[in-house]
Structure 1
């Protein structure tokens, strides 16, 4: 787990978690970051919320960064 990389995440980034979703994909869009983290599955569009602690344990890497405006 790279806390420095996690601290740079912004809503709209596409991330990869250690375990894949039951639909078979491992790509998630970051929707909200705070005390909890809300992410959306890219494949089936389902939303899940994770505690910050569980998100930090599950996070693997950033696949795409949201373009800065």
Structure 2
């Protein structure tokens, strides 16, 4: 069962971004997700199974 993730949710990932931040905002959902680093505003495309494995917790709905 896929996680209930929506556009605008902020998630903390287990692996940090090269800028040192763990917090990402979800910009697009579906089979592939587009997430944005809250610190440096870099956007990353990532597939759903990989993202769900890397999420530590959902911070903000």
TM-score of the pair, normalised by structure 2:
0.89
Select the residue among 10, 21, 25 that pairs with 2:21. 25
Partner of 2:42: 46
Q: TM-score under structure 1 normalisation?
A: 0.80
Give the 3-state SS of the residue equivalent to 2:51 in structure 1.
Answer: helix
Larger CA Rg, structure 1 vs 2: 1
Unpaired runs of 5+ residues, structure 2, are none
CA distance in 1, matches of 2:27, 2:6: 8
Q: Which has the higher helix share?
A: 1
TM-aligned CA deviation for residue 47 of structure 1: 0.3
